[in-house]
Structure 1
Amino acid sequence: MHYIELIALFAVSQYLLFGAMTGNARRKSDLAAPAISGSVEFEKMYRVQMNTLEMLVAFLPALFVAGQHQNPVWMAAIGCVYLVGRFIYWRAYISNPSSRTLGFMLTLIPIVVLAALAIFSVVNALLTEFNIQF
């Protein structure tokens, strides 16, 4: 069962897609690198790309650790919520940045759930290893 790996690869692919869209927005705006301001449309796409990168740093390890200790199908399903949340965030941020809350929450909540499950699982495994029971 490679559900976790598939979701991780989809998340990286999504980030790369947002990067390509950022490059396209730069070309359309005639904004020369390394500038990141001067075109509102570029700046919005750039922020989507950077926010996605910021979230990936937490999402990927939480997904892999939780997926190793918990039911991988359920962890992959939580990962799907993250992916959908990123697309909602992107659409909202491009049209009206103040409407990004739903997409952000559909990104943040799966990360928090995965991280909590990962921490719980690892701590439980360590306690079991040392024969500590509560």
Structure 2
Amino acid sequence: MQWTAWTTLAVLAVYLWVIFNAGRAREHHKVAAPSMDGPLAFQSAQRVHANTVEQLVMLLPALWLCAYFLGDRWAAAGGALWIVGRVMYALGYYQDPSKRGAGFGINLLAVVALMLGTAVGLMLH
């Protein structure tokens, strides 16, 4: 499951990127912890971070279950699609929160595909 492991590392790198962006926004806009209120740019960075955490809860189990029951390359492809969607989501949200939709849709599609892939793999076993 080498491809899925590499994909997991890439997913975690995206997560580190959004953590860094949230921290940088907090520092740049001088928003003292634990406050979550500040300029729109700060709130957007915080929301991208929080939503990424929320998405990881679904992604990681679906990714590894798909790898185990359907196949390594299928899972890695779904994980790569999630990464594309997550980066699009973040960049869109940072620019204007109304531009997050396409990225969110792609990343949700990837998770659903991984879940369906797991179900197919389970039925084949």
TM-score (norm 2): 0.93
Superposed counterparts of 1:34-73, under 5 Å: 34-73=34-73
Give the alignment of 1:64-83 within 5 angstroms.
Answer: 64-83=64-83
Can you list the C-alpha shifts for 1:30-52, whole angstroms capped at 9, x where unaligned?
11000011221111001001111
Identity rate, percent: 32
Match of 2:6 in 1: 6
Unaligned 5+ segments in structure 2 are none
Find the structure with the greater CA-based Rg: 1
The Cα shift of 1:123 comes to 5.1
Whole-Å separation in 1 of the counterparts to 2:40 and 2:64: 36
Instruction: Show CA shifts across 1:55-103 (max 9, x none).
Output: 1100000000001111311221121111011110011111111111110
| RMSD over aligned Cα atoms | 1.3
Give the corresponding residue for 2:19.
Answer: 19
Distance in 1, matches of 2:9 and 2:45, equals: 21
The one-character-per-residue Cα deviations of 1:2-42 (angstroms, maximum 9, x if unpaired) are 00011111111211111011000000001100001122111
Deviation at 1:124, TM superposition (A): 4.8
Amino acid at match of 1:21: N
Q: Report the Cα distance in structure 2 between the residues aligned to 1:76 and 1:120, rounded to whole angstroms.
A: 16
More displaced, 115-124 or 102-111?
115-124
Query: Which of structure 1's runs of 4+ aligned residues deviate more than 4 A?
Result: none
SS at match of 1:75: helix
Q: How many residue pairs get matched? A: 125
Unaligned runs of 5+ in 1: 126-134
Give the TM-score taking structure 1 as reference length.
0.87
